[in-house]
Structure 1
Amino acid sequence: MGISMFFVLCSLTGCLALSKVILHADRPFLRVRFMDPAFLKCCYEGVPSNLIWYRQNDSSKAHLVTILDRVEEKYSKNENVHCSNLTFKFVLLEDIGMYQCLLNDTGVLTHGTYMQVYKPMEKTINLSENTKNTILTVEGFLLLLCVLLPSATLLLKSRSLERLEMKKVRQEEENIYQGLNLDDCCTTYDQIERSQAQGPYQDVGNIVEEKEEIQLEKP
């Protein structure tokens, strides 16, 4: 019975505290370049309360924000709206985390803002725009040469191969008639003509005696 009453009283106390305070929406995310300034703000409506800034890093541990030379905190009020402004003159990598305001009188935490600090990529070679344009022009010219030179080389090779092929064909045609003797050709031709003009050969097995003797050529 006593424990249940304790939880009821705690819930009633929290409800009363929230009823006195109306939190304004915080900026959920802030990305800042390394060594640049940054501005955080938390606002609420209600009874004035002492605000304390907390930072929760990746290790899930909340740390009290220390006001240093590069970190300033200022309060502002507009009618019933109270705000706490946290200003970084320049941010470091160690400033990364979730920033929330704690209202001491009510124990309420604001929604908070996650601040991310990044380092831009540094140029390894610092070149001017004219130098970059010149380099791009030279690269385009070299690329054009890389395309044209192989094509011209292949074209010249194909033409030289075509000339060699034609020369080879002419040499083969000349070699056909190179070893021929015209006298031998005439003798062979005469022998062929004489063999066609002469009569048939004598067949020894079929000899027929006739009145008129036929002169046959012996093989």
Structure 2
Amino acid sequence: MEVKAPHLSCHAVATLLLVVLSVIPSHGLKMLWVPTSISVNPGDNTKIPCNYESQPEEEVEITWSLYKNKVIRSGDNISVYTEVHNLKDNTKDLQIKKVETNQSGLYKCKVKVTVHNISYSSCGTYLRVKDLPVFLFFNVAEATKNRVITAEGILLLFCAIIPGTILLYKKRFENLNVLSLKQSEGENLYEGLNLEDCSMYEDISRGLQATYEDVGALRAGDIQLEKP
């Protein structure tokens, strides 16, 4: 026996679709793009936005949460976990005044449609608090610093070359003067010297003299007196 399926009219199908759509909750909430990160200096004021679109008749609730990564070291083991801090702020843009270093982390907003009890979270914005700026006595640009360093190098080069060159020429002149004096003294060393008046020189014309004689065999005729 063949069983035939019931035939539904177009009107019945349209009515069924309307009933299904009326049962399924519908809303116009849509999350939009937010900045991925924000960098600020300690003590500055900043604002973290929560961008979304919703229908005018829809009531939404906004909550903010701060996610921080904590690192725990136990010997050689390192574990990382995330701390979640719920912030007491229900505004669309989170205002932070006089930011401190411990307020860095990932900020997420959660938007909830109260009628349908549906909520969406943003991708989050990471707030990075910079280190304290270093105090500079002379706050100049990098190009100016490079020019100053170049000028200092040139001055140091001149201060090393000029005095060194002067000292070298001075030492050279002193050596030349000493050498000329030595040459003039060597040429005039024996000038005007009378060998007969100097007792330290032997008269080569006398011939070789005996160093000693036998007193017993000495004769008066053999005595020769040395000329003064």
Say which of 114, 121, 139 aligns to 2:126: 114
Which digits, 9 at most, give the CA deviation of each residue in 1:31-61, with x for residues without a partner? 1111111011011224553121111123221
SS of the residue aligned with 1:114? strand
Say which of 36, 40, 57 aligns to 2:68: 57
Residue number in structure 1 paired with 2:36: 28
Q: CA deviation at 1:161?
A: 1.9
SS of the residue aligned with 1:90? coil
Residues 1:98 and 2:111 are matched in the alignment: no
Hey, what's the Cα distance between the residues in 2 that align with 1:92 and 1:180?
A: 101
Residue number in structure 1 paired with 2:96: 88
Hey, what's the Cα distance between the residues in 1 that align with 2:124 and 2:192?
A: 107
Q: How does 1:27-176 map to 2 (within 5 A)?
A: 27-46=35-54, 48=58, 49-59=60-70, 60-67=82-89, 74=91, 84-104=92-112, 105-118=117-130, 119-123=132-136, 126=137, 143=156, 145=159, 147-175=161-189
Which digits, 9 at most, give the CA deviation of each residue in 1:183-203, with x for residues without a partner? 9xxxxxxxxxxxxxxxxxxxx
The question of whether the paired residues in 1 share the 8 Å contact of 2:48 and 2:95 is answered with yes
Q: Residue 172 and residue 88 in structure 1: after superposition, are their counterparts in 2 closer, same or farther (change >3 A)?
A: same
Moved beyond 6 Å, runs of 4+: 179-183
Hey, what's the Cα distance between the residues in 2 that align with 1:94 and 1:44?
A: 28
Q: Which moved more, 1:41-50 or 1:139-148?
A: 139-148
Aligned residues: 143
SS of the residue aligned with 1:153? helix
Q: CA deviation at 1:178?
A: 4.7
Higher helix proportion: 1
Q: CA deviation at 1:156?
A: 1.7
Which amino acid in structure 2 is aligned with residue 36 of structure 1? D
Gap runs ≥5 in structure 1 = 1-15, 68-72, 75-83, 130-135, 184-219
Hey, what's the Cα distance between the residues in 2 that align with 1:89 and 1:111?
A: 23
Gap runs ≥5 in structure 2 = 1-23, 71-81, 141-147, 197-228
